[in-house]
Structure 1
C-alpha cells in the first residue's frame, strides 16, 4: 500500500493545482494559475507542497512475483509474463496516472524561483523534490530501460510532448545528478525532530547506493544494452555512498543479544522511532488513522518457497542442502539447527499468535505449507484488519547498506576479509551465525542457481542478501539485475510430504492435518481415533468429481507440494525480452516516436 500522510493541506493544494489535463499527463492546466500565483513563496510553502510527495513511498512486505513465493493465486504481471499471456495489447503502465507523480515534482521545481528566504532551506526542499523524481525514474528504468526524460512540466505546444524515449545512459545520469544534489543539499534534520519518517541526506545516500548497485550490476550482466564497458563507475558510486553512510551516519544494527527477537522486532513493532538501524521508516499509527495490511502476509493467497527455505544455512554455517537426506525432511524437521532468521520469516511449528498469543497455527497445504510470518503483527492489539495494522515499516535500513557495500566490492573484485567483517559478518553475528570467510567453498546449489557468478564469496553474499531481506520486496529486482530470469520459470514448491495421510505440523506429536487422495478415500487415516480425526484439517488432491485441486505431490503419493497450474501451464522466460516491459500499443499509436525494445 502507499504510505499515507497526514498533510491534508498539502494534498488539498495538489488537488487544486494538478487536476485533469487537456491532452496529456504532462501538460499544464489553467487551473494551476491559482497555485502559481500565490504559492511557492517561502520555504514553508515548499515544505507543505513537498509533504504530498510522501504518498509515493510504498514500504514492501512481500516478495510476490519472485522465486521466494511458492503459490500466488492472482494473475500478477510476472505470472502472465512467464505463461505467455502478457503483450503490448493488454499491458498497462504508461497512462496519465503513471506519470502524475513526476508532474507533481516538476511542477514544484518549475516554480522554485518564486521562493524567497533562507537559501539553504530552499535547496533542502529542492533536494527533496529531486529525491522523489529520482525514485520515480528508478522505477521506470527498471521496467522499460529507455524512457523519455522530462525535467519540467510540459505545455500544450511543447515540442517534447510527443518525443520518443531518451537513451538509458542519459536518463540514468540524470537520476544520478538528482541524487547527488539531494545527498548534498538535504539537511540531516531541518527542525530538530525525529526526521527518520522524512527524507534526509542519509535516505538520499541510501537511494543512491541502491540505484548505483542496481545499474552497475544490470550493465555488467546485461550485454544486450551495449553498456557493459561502463558498469564499474556505478559500482564505485555504490561503494562510496554506502561507505559514507557506514562511516558518518551513526547507524548500527539493532543487536541487543537477543538474536531472532532483535530481527523480528524490525518488522513487527508498533514504532521504529529511536531504532538506530532505521535510515527511514514509515509510521503507521492508530492515532493518526493510518494503518497497513501486513496481516495479509499470513494465511492470504501466497506461501514462501522451498527454494527460499533451503537457502538458509545450518547453525554451524554449512549449507542445509549439503546435509544427507535434506530433501526428505518433513516440516517439523527442517527448522532444526537453522539460521534463526528462517523461523522469523517462515512459519514454523513453534509459532504462536495467529488468533491468540498462545494458539498454535495449523498450516495450509493448499499454499505449500511455508507461510510467511515476517512482518506479521504478533500482538493482536496491533492487528485490527484491513488497512488497520499499526506496525512501523522500514523504508531504508542499515542492513541493506551493508549488503550493498559487500556486493559492490565483490562485483568489483576488491572485497577483503575486513570488508566481510564490517558488513556480512555483522548481520550474521546479530543472529549468532558463524562468519563468512574469504576461503569459503563453492556451494554447488548456489553455483547452479547463478551460473554467471564465478566466485564463492559473491555467491554467499547473494545468499546473505536473500535471507536477510526476504519478503522486503528486493528479490524480483535482484534476479532481474543479475540476469537470472531462468529462476522465474522454475515451478516453486512447498514442504515435503512423506506419504498420504496425517501429519504433525505443530510439533506436539499429534496429527494436525491430513493430505488425502479425495473426499471419498480417507483410508490412510482410518486408524486414528475418531475424536482426533475430527480435528484434522483435511486437504484433498482431487475433489469429489475427480478433478485436480490446485496442488499435487511431486512423486504422486509423496513428495514436495507442487501446483497444478505450473504443471499444466509451464513457465517460460524469454531472454532478453522478458527483462523489460512493453509500452501499451495504444500509447505507441498515439505517439509513433515511442519504440518497443528487445523483441516486444
Structure 2
C-alpha cells in the first residue's frame, strides 16, 4: 500500500486535514485514540497524514524576482501601505500544530520496537519544527505549545514566547529528528524519497540554522549577533554531513538536465533529489505548475540581469546591458537563464508555433517548472510532473554561504559546492580570491550590509543562490534574513523597448508585437508589411497597464507602482501583524514591533 492510500484514514484520525481547525478545539479523535497509537504501524499511518504540511514551491511570488502579479498578494499590499491588523489574514493554521502534538501526546502508549517508535516521533517533531519556524519567520515571537490544548486550558491565552525560546525548541525538535529518523523506508514505499529520512531532516536543520544565523547577524536591532555564529556553525556541520555521507550529487551535465529536475515525472532516481513531491496520473495526484507560464505573473529584469554571461563575467558590467532587446538579452548567457525565463522561439509542444511573450506582464515569462511534455499537462490541478522539495544544490549553497559568513571558506569549499553547481551547465568556476579582490559593485549596491574581507564571495554566493534556486520559493525569505527588504520597495520592471513600434520576440526576424501609445496612433507600424500587421499583437500604453521608463522607450514599468508607490518600512515590515480579532480573544497577545 502506497502512502496515498492512507490519506482518507489519516485525515479521519487527524480531524483537521479537510477543514479549518484551531488550537483550542478539543480532539476529534477521543474515541479512536483508545484503540489507536498502539503500534509503530499506527504511528506510520498517522504520520502519513502530516506530509501534506510540507509541499514543493514552484514560484517566487511576493519577491523582487517577480515583475507583476495580477492576482495580488499580501506582501504587495504590505509594501503599498494597505496591510494592518484589521485587514491581515493568518494565525489560523494552528490545526496543523494540534495534529502533530496529538500524536506526541499519545505516543507514550505505543509498544513495539523503540527505534521505530522514535522514528515516527522524529517525523512528528520534524513537522512541528517546520510549522514553528514558519511562524517565527512571519511573526518573530510566538507562543510555543508542546501539547494539545483543551478548551478551558489557561495556556490558550498565554503571551508570546521570545524568538530565542521558540527557535531553541525548533532546533531541539530538529536535532531529535536527525538523531532518530531512519534512512530506511516502509517496504511499500514508492518512491522511497517521498518519505522523510535523516538527510531530509538534516536539510531542514541546515536551512533553519542558516536562516536564523544570518537573520541574527544582519538584524542588529534584535541584539542577537553574539549567537549568530552558533547557528552558522550548525548550518555548516549539518550540510557537511549530507555532503560527506549522504551519497547525493549534482546530476547531469547540461541545461536540459537542469530543466528535467522541474519538468519531468521521473526524478525519484535522480541523485540530487533528497525529498520530493511525487505526482502521478495513475495515483490521481497532481499539481498546478502549468500556470507558471503567462497566467498571473512574470519574472523581473532584476532577476534576469543577475545571470552571468557565458564567460562568467557579470552581465551588468556589459556596456548597454540595460538596453538589450528581448532577443538580444539571451545571447551568451548562463544557460539557466533560458530554463527560467521563456526565451525566443519557445514552444509549448514540438509542433506548435513559437509562444509570444506578453509585454503587459513585462515580457519575462516563467518557464521553470512548466511541464514540457504535453502528456504531463492535463489542465487545472492536473499536471503530473514530480517536484523537488529538498535538493542537493540547496545543501551545497547553504554550506558555502555559512562558511563564507563565518570566515572559514576556502577555494576547496567553493569547488565542492558552488562550482559543482556551475559545472553542470558549463559555467566557469568561481574564484574566491578574484571575487574578494574586486567585489561586484552592482551586487554591493543591492546588499550594502555585506562588508569585510569576504564581501566579494558572499555577494557571488548570493548571486548563485538567486540564479540556481530561482522560482523555488526561497527569494522572499532570503531578502528578509539578509535584511534586504528595501529591495521589495523598489518598482519592478521588464524588458527594454528601444522605441514605439513593432518587435520580434520569437527570434525569426518578423515582428510579433507592437508597443504603441494608443489605438489612434499606429504610425510606428505603418511601414510594416500588411501580412505582418494583420498578425501582430498590439499593446497600448494608453490602456494604463504599463508604460516605458523613458516615455517612448526604456524598460517596461507598471502603472500600479506610479499610482500606489512601494515603500518598505524598516524594520516594521520584516514581520506581519496578528489579526486584530486574535488580540481581542487573547489580551496577552501583543503585535510584533512597529505594529
List aligned pairs for 1:105-254, cutoff 5 A.
105-192=100-187, 193=189, 194-254=191-251
Indicate whether 1:73 and 2:70 are aligned.
yes
Which residue matches 1:437? Answer: 431
Closer/same/farther in 2, CA of residues 30 and 372 from structure 1, 3 Å limit: closer
Q: Distance in 2 between matches of 1:523 and 1:562?
A: 23
Q: Distance in 1 between matches of 2:321 and 2:27?
A: 67
Q: Distance in 2 between matches of 1:117 and 1:158?
A: 32
Which residue matches 1:598? Answer: 593
User: Is contact 2:141-2:163 (8 Å) kept?
Assistant: yes
User: Is contact 1:40-1:115 (8 Å) kept?
Assistant: yes
User: Is contact 2:14-2:46 (8 Å) kept?
Assistant: no
Q: Distance in 2 between matches of 1:160 and 1:262?
A: 52
Which residue matches 1:558? Answer: 553
Cα offset for 1:327? Answer: 1.4
Cα offset for 1:225? Answer: 1.5
Closer/same/farther in 2, CA of residues 208 and 31 from structure 1, 3 Å limit: closer
List aligned pairs for 1:24-423, cutoff 5 A.
25-27=22-24, 29=26, 31-95=28-92, 98-192=93-187, 193=189, 194-255=191-252, 257=253, 259-352=254-347, 354=348, 356-423=350-417
Gaps of 5+ in 2: none
Which residue matches 2:531? Answer: 531
Q: SS in structure 2 opposite 1:7?
A: helix
Which residue matches 2:566? Answer: 571
Q: Distance in 1 between matches of 2:445 and 2:351?
A: 41
Cα offset for 1:227? Answer: 1.1
Q: Distance in 2 between matches of 1:411 and 1:448?
A: 18
Q: Spell out, residue by residue over 1:381-428, the C-alpha distance to the aligned partner (whole angstroms, 9 max, x if none).
A: 111110000000010000000000000000111111000000000011
Cα offset for 1:16? Answer: 5.0
Q: Distance in 2 between matches of 1:19 and 1:343?
A: 39
Q: Which moved more, 1:142-151 or 1:434-443?
A: 434-443
Q: Distance in 2 between matches of 1:321 and 1:19?
A: 49
Which residue matches 1:546? Answer: none
Q: Distance in 1 between matches of 2:194 and 2:123?
A: 13
Cα offset for 1:9? Answer: 3.8
Closer/same/farther in 2, CA of residues 356 and 235 from structure 1, 3 Å limit: same
TM-score w.r.t. structure 2 length?
Answer: 0.96
User: Is contact 2:548-2:556 (8 Å) kept?
Assistant: yes
Q: Distance in 2 between matches of 1:19 and 1:381?
A: 30
User: Is contact 2:199-2:246 (8 Å) kept?
Assistant: yes
Which residue matches 2:421? Answer: 427
Closer/same/farther in 2, CA of residues 263 and 19 from structure 1, 3 Å limit: closer
Q: Distance in 2 between matches of 1:521 and 1:103?
A: 62
- In the TM superposition, structure 1's runs of 4+ consecutive aligned residues that sit over 4 Å from their partners are 15-21, 355-358
Cα offset for 1:159? Answer: 2.6
Q: Distance in 1 between matches of 2:196 and 2:404?
A: 29
User: Is contact 1:164-1:593 (8 Å) kept?
Assistant: yes
Q: Distance in 2 between matches of 1:102 and 1:15?
A: 11
User: Is contact 2:11-2:18 (8 Å) kept?
Assistant: no
Q: Distance in 2 between matches of 1:367 and 1:446?
A: 25
Q: Spell out, residue by residue over 1:196-244, the C-alpha distance to the aligned partner (whole angstroms, 9 max, x if none).
A: 1111111000000000000000000111222111100000000000000
Cα offset for 1:351? Answer: 1.6
User: Is contact 1:13-1:35 (8 Å) kept?
Assistant: no
Closer/same/farther in 2, CA of residues 471 and 31 from structure 1, 3 Å limit: closer
Q: Distance in 1 between matches of 2:530 and 2:185?
A: 68
Closer/same/farther in 2, CA of residues 274 and 523 from structure 1, 3 Å limit: same
User: Is contact 1:272-1:392 (8 Å) kept?
Assistant: yes
Q: SS in structure 1 opposite 2:518?
A: coil
Q: SS in structure 2 opposite 1:390?
A: coil
Gaps of 5+ in 1: 544-548
User: Is contact 2:239-2:396 (8 Å) kept?
Assistant: yes
Cα offset for 1:532? Answer: 1.2
TM-score w.r.t. structure 1 length?
Answer: 0.95
Q: Distance in 2 between matches of 1:20 and 1:66?
A: 29
Cα offset for 1:142? Answer: 0.3
Cα offset for 1:160? Answer: 1.1
Q: Distance in 1 between matches of 2:301 and 2:320?
A: 15
Q: Which moved more, 1:588-597 or 1:167-176?
A: 588-597
User: Is contact 1:298-1:372 (8 Å) kept?
Assistant: yes
Cα offset for 1:10? Answer: 3.0
Q: Spell out, residue by residue over 1:436-468, the C-alpha distance to the aligned partner (whole angstroms, 9 max, x if none).
A: 111222111000000011210000000000000
Cα offset for 1:8? Answer: 2.9
Closer/same/farther in 2, CA of residues 434 and 535 from structure 1, 3 Å limit: same
Indicate whether 1:449 and 2:446 are aligned.
yes
Q: Distance in 2 between matches of 1:251 and 1:6?
A: 29
